[in-house]
Chains A and B, each alone.
Chain A
Amino acid sequence: MSLSHPDLWSVVNKQFKYKWMSYKSVFQGLMIAQIIAMVFSLFGVASSSMGFGFIDLNIQYITGDFVFFFTCLWAFFISVALDRNENRLADQIFVTNSWSRHLANVVFIVIANMIGTITVVTASFFVKMIHIWIFGIDGFIFFGEYTLPGMLIFFIITFFYLILFSSLGYLIGSIMRQGKLIKFGVVLFVGGPLIFTDNSYLIPLFQFFGDESSVIWFILKILLTSMLAIGLTTLVSRRLEVQ
């Protein structure tokens, strides 16, 4: 029987299709996260009051921010779970090696995040439209016009934020799978301070990405960070493959 000589990219392509068939609940998670976010958004995303001359002005902001942040969390959590042992064993049944598996995971993350981006943008308008339907259009002030370049920026920046969260999740997931002790350590040293401190140590991190107003620099920063994270993941997860 003649041997087949697969090339890496055709295997990656097949493996992505396989993952698309098998990771269905990922999109269930997306919908649940976004629907919860939309329900929260009905109560207003944020509000502020100001003394405005003789008027006490109470401003309620209606944006898709909740949907955006929820979807970032979704991107993070699906990526933590993406390379878990069950999935790796399911890959092993068919044609794979560690490169094709990581590449197919990355392709899956990219495609899933594209769907995530489309739904973030449209769900943002959905939230606004629901508000208009409930309260009537007259009570609103419209800040900022969604021009074509603006929409493009909306898509691009959202997409790269999701990629950032996903690649960090992918890395943290692979670190957590190194052992029970390490898993505990990650939860303790990452999760603990997040809940019990004022999180001021995160400011530089947020500033690094959140204060970048140049689209090009922003994309470069994210690409570099993501590639670093995924590169580290391939190194870290190598230990697991050698059983």
Chain B
Amino acid sequence: MSIVSCQHLDKKYKKQYALKDLTIELEENRIIGLIGRNGAGKTTLLKTLAGQIVPTGGEVKVFGENPFNNLKLSANTIYVDDQMQFSLEMRIHEILVAAEMFYENWNRELADRLIYYFGVDRYDFHDQLSKGMASTFNAILGLASRCPLTIFDEPTTGMDYSVRQDFYRALLKDYIAHPRTIIVSSHLLNELESILEEIVLIKNGKCILHESIEDFKEYAIGLSGDKNVIQSIVDHDVIIHEKELSESQVYIAVDNHLSEKDITGLKQQGVQMTSVEAADLSMFLTNDTRGGIDDVFKSS
């Protein structure tokens, strides 16, 4: 059953589109990574799913209903980011009491253990916490509420490396024990890769790719060798990424849909074939340009 369904979703702010003709279906009980560069529309999409934003066009259904102003959706969804605006007059332990009151599946033991483990002071006010600590606390809230739809929008902002690792591990463990739909957004796939089941790439307000992580790893192939040889065989349209290694040598990443004939042809010409790391691939796909930062400095 699909838990989230967006059809031709548009969201326009003033003159600029944050989402444009975005169509996506998400299945129940998966961990889904939403990857895109800053400004690609990740936050807009997630807030739309959480019912905090009304799209300007298209249709969005979460749990089969319109999410905006929807009590059922609100009770079954939690949206976590680093901008969560808590009451300035509540201390951490009071926020936990409130969360327990609101969320049916709230697990107090888990929350308490995580709070203890990460060293969050229960008697602090939320805005007294450091940026990393606040992100950690928000992430704990997202985990312990065990909502059927849990949304983390860039949850690791400000966390240091070891805390990020711990968080992803906690997320995975709790997900395995209590499967639910979890969407995690990030501009980087690197650390996220190991826990994801599905990946959604978003660029300029559009969903450009939605694959299982296994398929995604096979999605592309890297070719390095003589520039002219590769360009003569590989169709220009399937090139995802291109990088000059030297005057004549080039590295390109292409869709993994080359025919047997092409592959043997390339091998005979001495072109090396490598698999493309998922993290690199996501970066190639979401980049605006085909080249890289090197191209900027290339003298023309």
CA distance A18 to B276 in the complex (A): 50
Name the CB-closest residue of B to A242: B54
Q: Which of B97-105, B114-122, B198-206, B220-228 lines the interface with chain A?
A: B97-105
Contact bitstring B122-160, A, C-beta under 8 A = 1, else 0:
000000000000000000010000101000000000000
Q: Which of B84-92, B188-196, B281-289 contacts A (4 or more CB under 8 A)?
A: B84-92
Closest to B80 in A: A93
Main secondary structure of the interface of B (DSSP, over half): loop
Name the residue on A nearest B84 (C-beta): A93
Q: Does the CB pair B76–A25 fall under 8 Å?
A: no
- Contact indicator A22/B70 (Cβ below 8 Å): no
> Please, which residues of chain A bring their CB within 8 A of the CB of B178?
1
**Chain A residues with CB below 8 A from B141, complex form:** 93
B29 at the interface (CB under 8 A from A): yes
The residues of B that contact A6 with a CB separation of less than 8 Å are 71-72, 75
In the docked arrangement, what's the CA distance between A100 and B102, Å? 13
Is A97 in contact with B105, judged by CB distance below 8 angstroms? Answer: no
Residue of A nearest to B98 (CB): A18
User: In residues 89-113 of chain A, which contact B (Cβ within 8 Å)?
Assistant: 89-90, 92-100
B216 at the interface (CB under 8 A from A): no
A94–B99 alpha-carbon span in the complex (Å): 7
A1 to B149 alpha-carbon distance, docked (Å): 9
- Tell whether B291 is near chain A: CB-to-CB under 8 Å: no
Number of cross-chain contacts by CB at 8 Å: 86
Nearest chain A residue, comparing its CB with the CB of B178 = A1
How many residues in A have their beta carbons less than 8 Å from beta carbons of B?
Answer: 32
Interface string of A68-97 (1 = CB under 8 A from B): 000000000000000000110110111111
- Cβ-based interface call for B94 (8 A): yes
Number of interface residues of B (CB under 8 A): 37
Contacts of B85 in A (CB 8 A): 86, 89-90, 93
B180: Cβ under 8 A from any A Cβ: yes
**Cross-chain contact of A4 among B54, B69, B75 (Cβ < 8 A):** B75
A100: B residues at CB distance < 8 A: 71
Smallest Cβ-Cβ distance to B11: which chain A residue: A243
With a cutoff of 8 Å between Cβ atoms, the chain B residues found around residue A22 in the complex are: 87, 89-90, 94, 98
Using A18-B102, A86-B85 as known contacts, list a sample of 15 further A-B pairs with CB atoms less than 8 Å apart, ordered by residue number in A: A1-B146, A1-B148, A3-B72, A4-B72, A4-B75, A6-B72, A22-B87, A23-B87, A94-B99, A95-B71, A95-B74, A95-B103, A97-B69, A97-B70, A99-B69
